[in-house]
Amino acid sequence: MTHKRADHGSHGAESSQFAADEQSPGRVSTHFFHCKEPFHLRCGDCLEEFTLAYETYGVLNADRSNAVLVFHAMTGSQHAAGFNPDVPGLDGRWTEEMFGGWWDNFIGSGLAIDTDKYFVICANYLGGCYGSTGPASVRQPDGERWGANFPPIRISDIVDSQMRLLDHLGIEKLHAAVGASIGGFLTLSLATRYPERVRTVVPIATGPSTTMLQRLMNFEQIAAIEQDPDFAGGHYTTQPVRGLASARRTAHKTFVSLQHLRERARGEVVVSSPPFGWYQINHPVESYMFHQGGKFAARFDANSYLRILDAWQWFDLVAEGHASSYKELFSRCRDQRYLVFSIDSDGSFEPAEQGRLVHHLEAAEVPVTWISVHSSKGHDAFLLEPALFTPHLAHILAGKD
């Protein structure tokens, strides 16, 4: 194993933003893959058909060997790069903040995932709410929305659905799979359950299973949503905004460091209307967090959020891979190579989790490089500071050790 510390600080993000603007894929559109074959879920239920919303960037080469599958994080979307102002059928959830790609600084001409070299795919999760089949989708043949009747999903189900998409695109083996946060769960699940279908594996700020702290944080969010009177057992006609916003505020403080939160919340207190009865928002950080919760509730579906949280609660790489141990699981992966990223200020997926992952990879004799990046921004550094990741990511995608 190679273990390196990338100490670039927070500089370079602004200049990379300009590069991404110049090298962006430009205006893009969401595509829809409609799978008409029965799809069996880990819970035992079966979807008679499903749809995945996805985007692609770059050109698939003649031998179909240059595909890179990017998994978005928990509440992200298929729109990883470029400009997409409209996805049909989303009932207003495609808000203005969604128009720009969430990884614009990573995907594009000459960037880390170079669209001059690679064919990049990003799909919205099964169970999501940005065009893929999920609780907000209309169920056939009755024409009603799934709502609370949408079945539980697991990380392996999301991966399996995207393997159907790869089959549809005629891609037998990926050049690479890349994912951060929960997207890292998906990356690891694909790599261990379909080892013959990917060569290079890049899990970023993630881990091999759900930690106790994550489970508790997720439970707090679930409770906030379910206890909102507007939730109505999941059969709501009006989004349970209070519960969903509260859940997001609970999560948000683990996504960014306290230092970054302090920097972002330096402005004045801005509240359009008093949100509470007796207590009034008095501090900028309260105003900032209240705004974050409300902004999120406008763009996401509560039932989808619960399904994804539930999948996170149950994630265990060994169990989902039908293995008896990490060594058995990763012994399937010796023909792959791994680049594992840690963020030293990460409070959501602490570096110890990547250390545990690397330990198991080494024990199974899987080639792995571990990069620890120094950032003051916390977990979301993988979104905010491309300069910390780009050299290493570009290096391994180019086939260099």
Concatenating the DSSP letter of every residue in 54-113 gives: EEEES---TTS--EEEEE--TT--S--SSB----TT-TT-S-GGGSB-TTTTTEETTSSE
Contact of 52 with 123, CB cutoff 8 Å: yes
Q: In Å, how far are 190, 312, 347, 359 from 316, measured between CA atoms?
A: 13, 9, 20, 16
Distance CA 151, CA 22 (A): 43
Backbone angles phi and psi of 273, in degrees to 5: -150, 150
The residue annotated as part of the active site, out of 79, 260, 379, 392, is 379
Nearest to 39 by CA among 178, 175, 132, 101: 132
Maximum distance among all alpha carbons in the chain? Answer: 65
Say whether 18 sits in a helix, a strand or coil: helix
The residue annotated as part of the active site, out of 181, 257, 304, 342, is 181
Beta-carbon contacts of 350 under 8 Å, excluding residues fewer than 6 positions away, are 211
Concatenating the DSSP letter of every residue in 37-64 gives: S-EE-TTS-EES-EEEEEEEES---TTS
**346 given a catalytic annotation:** yes
Cis peptide bond upstream of 25, omega within 30? no
The tokens 């299973």 sit on which residue? Answer: 209
The residue annotated as part of the active site, out of 104, 114, 228, 346, is 346
| Distance separating the N- and C-terminal Cα atoms of the chain | 11
Angle (nearest 5°) at CA 256 between 252 and 311? 50
HSE at residue 89, side-chain half, CA atoms within 13 A, is 15
Distance CA 388, CA 381 (A): 8
Residues acting as catalytic residues: 181, 346, 379
